[in-house]
Amino acid sequence: MKKYVIAICILLLASFAFAGGEKIKSKEEGKVILKVALEEGRMADVGRFVADIYQQSNPSVTIDVIGIPWDAQYEKLLTVLSSGAYTYDVIEFTPDWGAAFVKSGWLTPLDKWWDEADQYYKDFLLVDLLSKFEGAPPALAGTYYGLPFNSDVKMLIYRKDLYEQYGLTEPKTWEDFVYNCKKLHDPANDFYGFGYPASGEETWTQVVVHLWAFGCTLFDDNLRPTFYSKKNLEAYDKLIKTAHSIGTPGMYETGYTEENELMASGKVAHIIQWMPAAVGTIEDPNSSKVSGKLGYAPVYGVGTRGTGWAVGIPNTSPNAEEAFKFIHFLCGAEMCKESLIRFTNSLVRKSMINDKELLDKFSWIPGDIKALETAHEIPKIPEAWPIYEIIGEETIRALQGSITPEQALKNIDSRVTKMLTEAGYY
């Protein structure tokens, strides 16, 4: 939590000087050098692959893809952008990061390039979530600040082979899910119904996914938190009281990576995981014991959490025109399809939904589409991540029994209200 308090302080200070800093051109002997900062791993690999193709047709452009580890990415971008100095020509961001960057005036509006009538733009999924932001300083006001690059959605992943063996059906409700978990739960043989995550960001992600699957609301129209309500408490109470009876004994050490490992090693019947990011581990035939044995579905058959990544241009880039040409190519239909096939990058275009080649290759796509259609995200504000951390902290206390589920929800409401009041939202 502390590092995000510091991060918000940086945002507030920088908002007074977003246009400061001398712009240093990255041109050498007539060539344009684009510095592209992406999350190290799958997304940076996509960037490098596409950059190689782009440079073949654009020999005057050199693209340097700089990978940044996920756990350092936000603070790195905050430090760079708040300095007002030119460092990157392209960055990627999540909805809450984008909200912070736009509020501080750090992103270049894409409106002069964005044509809503053009099929290129009409074909994008998640435009409202990933591309549109409000609150930029007047000098940099616009409507669009990023091109959708990657979608992330929480999905229920289950052992389809065991479902067939035991005559189980895909769960459409929480009760169905719990029944299936208990049916397959076998601790005596080191096999568990659910790889419940209670470590790191997956703690709060599990909570909001669960509440949304029950049709709960987390904020009212005035941005006031509504975690504590009769409906929310009933849903939350079920999660807290059931987690230990169907989960693994090491839930407090189970986060994103550990969930994938539990499934790949054949130790759990279900996980609720980010897709398609998890596919590379759980469907790898060389390392996963369950490759080809899995089913994919929306969480409890209804709602879930959906987010993603957009790519945009810092306002300090001296190469905005060339940077836009590259991200336009990077996020185009052809490269999106190739990125999915080669690197399991995500669905970001409507034209990919019914692509026979993709459907034949990836069994999880229909479930992913259903999940995206019912996905939610909390408001796009700079304080989103600290809010999530509050949810996680109070949930851990409830899981450990030091407070009741009711007190946990009351604490979340109180702490979030205090934070947003101090930030000037009310």
Q: What is the set of domains in the chain, with CATH numbers?
A: 2-151+307-372 (3.40.190.10), 152-305+380-422 (3.40.190.10)
pLDDT score for 293? 97
Q: What is the mean pLDDT of residues 56-63?
A: 97
pLDDT at 129 over 90: no
Of 146, 122, 118, 153, the closest CA to residue 132 belongs to 146
* 90 close to 60: Cβ distance less than 8 angstroms: no
Would you place residue 331 in the very low, low, confident or very high pLDDT band (cuts 50, 70, 90)? very high
Mean per-residue pLDDT for 230-242? 96
The proportion of the chain whose per-residue pLDDT surpasses 90, expressed as a percent, equals 73
Nearest Cα residue to 23 out of 315, 327, 311: 315
Evaluate if residue 27 carries a pLDDT over 70.
Answer: no
Instruction: Give the Cα separation of 297 and 302 in Å (integer).
Output: 9
Whether 19 has a pLDDT exceeding 90, the answer reads no
Residue 287 has pLDDT above 80, yes or no: yes
What are the residues facing 62 on neighbouring strands? 33
Which pLDDT value is given to residue 22? 39
Measure the CA–CA gap between 231 and 213, rounded to whole angstroms.
12
Who contacts 150 (Cβ-Cβ below 8 Å, separation ≥6)? 43, 92, 308, 309, 345, 346, 348
Lowest mean pLDDT among 21-25, 295-299, 308-312, 327-331: 21-25
Phi, psi of 112 (to 5 degrees): -70, -20
Q: What is the pLDDT of residue 396?
A: 97
Name the nearest CA neighbour of 353 among 46, 43, 125.
125
Following DSSP, what letter does each residue of 264-318 receive, concatenated? HTT-BSEEEEEETTTHHHHT-TTT-TTTT-EEEE-GGGS-EEEEEEEEE-BTT-T
264: which 2 tokens?
């790949």
Q: How confident is the model at residue 7 (pLDDT cuts 50, 70, 90)?
A: low
Mean per-residue pLDDT, 209-227? 93
Q: Rounded to two decimals, what is the model's pTM?
A: 0.85
Mean pLDDT over 36-58 rounds to 97
Instruction: Count the Cβ atoms, other than its own, within 10 Å of residue 82.
Output: 23
What residues contact 380, with CB distance under 8 A and at least 6 apart? 95, 96, 98, 99, 129, 133
Please report the pLDDT score of residue 20 as a whole number: 39
pLDDT of residue 15: 44
Residue 291 CA from chain centroid, whole number: 24
Phi, psi of 194 (to 5 degrees): -150, 130
Q: What is the mean pLDDT of residues 129-144?
A: 80
Q: What pLDDT is attached to residue 2?
A: 45
CA dihedral 183, 188, 190, 195 (to 10 degrees): 40
Instruction: Pick the more confident residue, 280 or 56.
Output: 56
In a 10 Å sphere around its CB, with 0-12 CB exposed, 13-18 middle and 19+ buried, how is residue 26 labelled? Answer: buried
Q: Give phi and psi for 217, each to the nearest 5.
A: -110, 145
Looking at residue 1, what is its pLDDT? Answer: 53
Q: Which residue has the higher pLDDT, 352 or 306?
A: 352
CA gap 146, 136 in Å, rounded: 14
Question: Mean of the per-residue pLDDT values for the chain?
Answer: 90
**Residue 126 confidence (pLDDT):** 87
Q: Range with the lowest mean pLDDT among 13-27, 56-70, 197-211, 381-395?
A: 13-27
Q: What average pLDDT score do residues 117-122 get?
A: 94
